[in-house]
């Protein structure tokens, strides 16, 4: 779509939103946060439409106690922690994995859980612990990899479970009722797995418009247009602008992989605390791949760095610019909180692509 076409959608959004008070739309997914900045979408939107970031950045919602355990494992002389690049710079109490690597911790950055398995295969004398983080899109990959380890009879591969489920977090956010949200821009790739239908309860129970979008400029703007249109008409339906990849029912094969290996469990989210059924534990049949069990670990206490508003930011309660540490004590170079670490963390995106003005709206 050319610039004129994009301009047309933006004008339509502006016209629809012009008659109402400011609208707050939540982009649930961290990749949307980054894409909205990177494509310039944020700069195109009228001031009447404000986007607030939600709890959909796996790094940002991973508890500090989890990072501390990962560090503890990486410092064991016979253990290598295999991780997606995202987790390497997240600060724990003893420092990030990157900092611990400088102290001799073994950390291998992998692109896929399958690469972690390959590492275990190549290094039979070492324990390989995979940091299993991510939402519904990433969980089936971990599940399939555990099944593969089982199939091969690998004895030196484990996971440190940190997978999360997004729908329970949305429920928690909405039932707390502290954030005025007029609609949800729903994550594209999570929806590939869980299906657009998964948001029906959110739309009907809380009367919130939900629109699934991919990560291209056009798709995101179309989704925002649909959200605004629903909001001004007081409608609350689930719509989908990402038909190329997302169906109503999602990917059953992927969900079956997850269900075979994992069972829902309560999980601690950074700053949001314990959310029922929002995490996943290995089922008893696969418990021997659990690094916590194998190495006799338990989560330590959760300490929030003084003054850090990451918890409020991931719930849409605060903008990064409202945090006293933002750009001062907390920068990508020396992040205090996880939202500044993750490439898709809200604070990192604001820091990097920063809105031209102190608000998340446009600068037209």
Partner 1 sequence: MSGAGRIVMAHGGGGEATRLLLEERIVSKLGNPILDPLTDGAVLHPPDGPICFTTDSYVVRPLEFPGGDIGRLAVCGTVNDLAVMGARPLALSLGLILEEGLPFDLLDRIVDGVAAAAEEAGVPIVTGDTKVIERRGDDGMLINTAGVGTLREDARLGAARVEPGDALLISGRIAEHGLAVLSVRENLAFDTDIRSDAAPLYGLVDRLLGSGADVRFLRDPTRSGLAGVLADLAEETGFALEVEEEAIPITAAVLHTADLLGLDPLTIANEGKVVAVVAGADAPRALEALRSHPLGRRAAVIGRVTESEPPLVELLTRGGGRRLVQRPYGEDLPRIC
Partner 2 sequence: MCLAVPGRILAVREGAESAIGRIATIDFQGSRVEASLAMTPDAAEGDWVLVHAGFALTVLDEEEALETYASLRIALGDDPAPEEPANDTREP
Chain residues in the site for partner 1 (CB under 8 A): 1, 3, 6-7, 30-31, 37-44, 57-59, 82, 84-86, 88-89, 108-111, 115, 118-119, 134, 138, 217-218, 331-333, 342-344, 351-354, 356, 363
Closest distance of CB 58 from partner 2, Å:
6
List, in order, residues 6 or more apart from 213 with CB less than 8 Å away: 32, 185, 186, 188, 219, 220, 222, 223, 241, 242
Q: Is residue 134 within 8 Å of 163, Cβ to Cβ?
A: yes
Examine residue 47 and tell whether it contacts partner 2 (CB under 8 A).
Answer: no
Structure tokens at 358: 């102190």
The three-class DSSP label of residue 90 is: coil
Examine residue 330 and tell whether it contacts partner 2 (CB under 8 A).
Answer: no
**H or E segment and range at residue 131:** strand 127-134
Cα R_g (the chain), whole angstroms: 21
Sketch the per residue contact string, 198 through 227, with partner 2: x for CB under 8 A, - otherwise.
----------------x-xxxx--------
Closest distance of CB 13 from partner 2, Å:
19
Give the nearer residue to partner 2 in terms of CB position, either 215 or 350: 215
Give the nearer residue to partner 1 in terms of CB position, either 1 or 245: 1
Q: Which of 143, 138, 141 is nearest to 166 (CA)?
A: 138
- Choose the stretch contacting partner 2; rule: CB under 8 A; options: 65-73, 142-150, 319-327, 347-355: 142-150
Examine residue 145 and tell whether it contacts partner 2 (CB under 8 A).
Answer: yes
Residue 297's binding partner among partner 2, partner 1, none (Cβ under 5 to 8 angstroms by kind) is: none
Give the nearer residue to partner 2 in terms of CB position, either 72 or 286: 286
State residue 29 phi and psi, 5-degree precision. -100, 135
* Among 242, 262, 289, 326, contact with partner 2 (rule: CB under 8 A): 242
How many C-beta atoms surround the C-beta of residue 9 within 10 A? 18
Examine residue 147 and tell whether it contacts partner 2 (CB under 8 A).
Answer: yes
Residue 85's binding partner among partner 2, partner 1, none (Cβ under 5 to 8 angstroms by kind) is: partner 1
Structure tokens at 21: 């008070």
Examine residue 30 and tell whether it contacts partner 2 (CB under 8 A).
Answer: yes
List, in order, residues 6 or more apart from 25 with CB less than 8 Å away: 49, 50, 51, 52, 181, 182, 183, 184, 185, 224, 227, 228
The three-class DSSP label of residue 51 is: strand
Examine residue 150 and tell whether it contacts partner 2 (CB under 8 A).
Answer: yes
Closest distance of CB 217 from partner 1, Å:
4
Closest distance of CB 247 from partner 2, Å:
8
**DSSP 8-state secondary structure symbol assigned to residue 86:** G
Q: Is residue 158 within 8 Å of 294, Cβ to Cβ?
A: yes
Examine residue 251 and tell whether it contacts partner 2 (CB under 8 A).
Answer: yes
How many C-beta atoms surround the C-beta of residue 38 within 10 A? 15
Upper half-sphere CA count for residue 287 (Cβ side, 13 Å): 5
Closest distance of CB 47 from partner 1, Å:
15
List residues binding partner 2 (CB under 8 A).
1, 28-31, 56-58, 84, 111-115, 134-135, 137-138, 140-141, 144-145, 147-148, 150-151, 166, 187, 189-190, 192-193, 214, 216-219, 242-245, 251, 253-254, 257, 344
């Amino acid at each position: 779509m050319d610039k004129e076409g994009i301009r047309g959608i933006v004008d339509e959004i502006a016209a629809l939103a012009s008659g109402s008070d400011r609208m707050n739309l939540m982009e649930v997914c961290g990749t949307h946060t980054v894409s909205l900045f990177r494509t310039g979408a944020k700069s195109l939107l009228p001031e009447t439409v404000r986007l607030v970031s939600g709890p959909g950045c796996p790094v940002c919602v991973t508890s500090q106690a989890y990072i501390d355990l990962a560090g503890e494992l990486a410092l064991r002389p016979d253990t290598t922690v295999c991780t997606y690049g995202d987790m390497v710079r997240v600060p724990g109490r003893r420092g990030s994995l990157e900092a611990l690597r400088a102290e001799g911790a073994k950390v291998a950055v992998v692109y896929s859980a399958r690469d972690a398995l390959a590492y275990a295969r190549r290094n039979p004398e070492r324990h390989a612990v995979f940091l299993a983080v991510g939402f519904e899109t990433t969980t089936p990959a971990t599940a399939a990899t555990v099944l593969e380890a089982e199939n091969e009879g690998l004895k030196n591969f484990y996971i440190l479970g940190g997978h999360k489920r997004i729908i329970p977090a949305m429920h928690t956010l909405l039932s707390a009722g502290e954030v005025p949200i007029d609609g949800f821009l729903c994550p594209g790739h999570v929806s590939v797995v869980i299906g657009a239908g998964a948001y029906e309860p959110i739309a009907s129970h809380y009367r919130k418009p939900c629109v699934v979008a991919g990560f291209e400029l056009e798709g995101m703007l179309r989704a925002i247009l649909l959200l605004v249109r629903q909001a001004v008409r007081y409608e609350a339906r689930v719509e989908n602008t990402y038909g190329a990849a997302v169906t109503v029912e999602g990917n059953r094969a992927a969900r079956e992989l997850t269900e075979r290996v994992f069972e829902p469990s309560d999980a601690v989210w950074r700053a949001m605390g314990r959310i029922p059924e929002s995490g996943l534990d290995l089922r008893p049949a696969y418990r021997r791949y659990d690094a916590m069990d194998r190495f006799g670990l338990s989560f330590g206490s959760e300490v929030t760095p003084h003054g850090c508003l990451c918890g409020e930011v991931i719930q849409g309660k605060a903008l990064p610019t409202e945090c006293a540490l933002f750009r001062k004590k907390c920068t990508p170079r020396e992040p205090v909180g996880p939202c500044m670490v993750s490439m898709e963390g809200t604070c990192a995106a604001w820091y990097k692509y920063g809105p031209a003005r102190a608000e998340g709206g446009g600068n037209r």
